[in-house]
Amino acid sequence: MAVALSAISATPVRVTGIRQNRPNHGLAPQHIAAVMAVAGTCDAECTGLSPGSGEITFTPQRVRRTDLLIKTGTAGSIPLVIQAWLPAALICGGSIRVSGGTEVAWSPTIDYLDRVFAPVLRRAGVSLEVEVLERGYYPEGGGMARVRVDASHPRPIAIPEEESCGLVSCSVGLPSHVAERQAASARELLEAREGLSCTAEIDSRGRGASVGSSITVWKGAKGGIALGRRGLPAEEVGRAAACALMEECGRPGVVDAHLADQLLIYLACYGGEYTTHTLSMHAKTACWLLESFGYPVRCRENEVLELSA
């Protein structure tokens, strides 16, 4: 977010102490890929972009339309690279292809980005297309996604009124019944507990660079995700995603806590409002950073947490 704000505000930035409290200090390959993606939109001069680096500088030029190819070189999160790139890309439009992991731990899945995050921006007038070319899982990666946006000045952020419920269940290098069983168990639990009828999409790919499975479930602007792993039954994966969604749906607010964090930069830049139940540490940091760049966000906490700009 720091380099994205640097690009859109034409303000040079220096970031220090990067991940200094993590067991593995400094930049990882996916962080370097994210910075390079933003730099590609504005011909930025960068220093410190090497694995383990604890400090970078980012000096942007004027944002322009570009078509980029970014390789994480690992199973690094494709959605996080896209989210770093997108705020600057909206100024002049462009496209990006990113290789790495489409569904990896501690990150939104590519389907969450397309089915939960992106509809909010599309409602605000953004032309945003997401295409999954190859799915990639940890540790091999090998996924590839392409995103295209037109130059946009979005309207204020408002959450879609419709509350459609759906899911995408995926697998690579596994029998097709794995993704089908994930979907069936998630649908059964959501219907039994919440009375929700979910539209299911199965994406089972027989071959790929990696082996894995995942499922993303959503209702409106709230989502739940789960990743498969060796020895974990497909039914448990599906139920885990459904439980994550049900937990979010049972709490106040119109967006889940993760989406509340991801939308902050667009709320600050374009105005609007939405509600959630918790201001995560990520979101608190983002609010501080946005205000540092002159993009303040208002937070009001009553029975529900209201965010506006």
Q: Which residues are catalytic?
A: 282
Question: Are the C-beta atoms of residues 113 and 218 closer than 8 Å to each other?
Answer: no
Indicate the Cα dihedral angle 98, 149, 106, 182, nearest 10°. Answer: -90
**Alpha-carbon distances of 62 from 7, 65, 91, rounded to whole Å:** 8, 10, 10
Token reading at 26: 């400094």
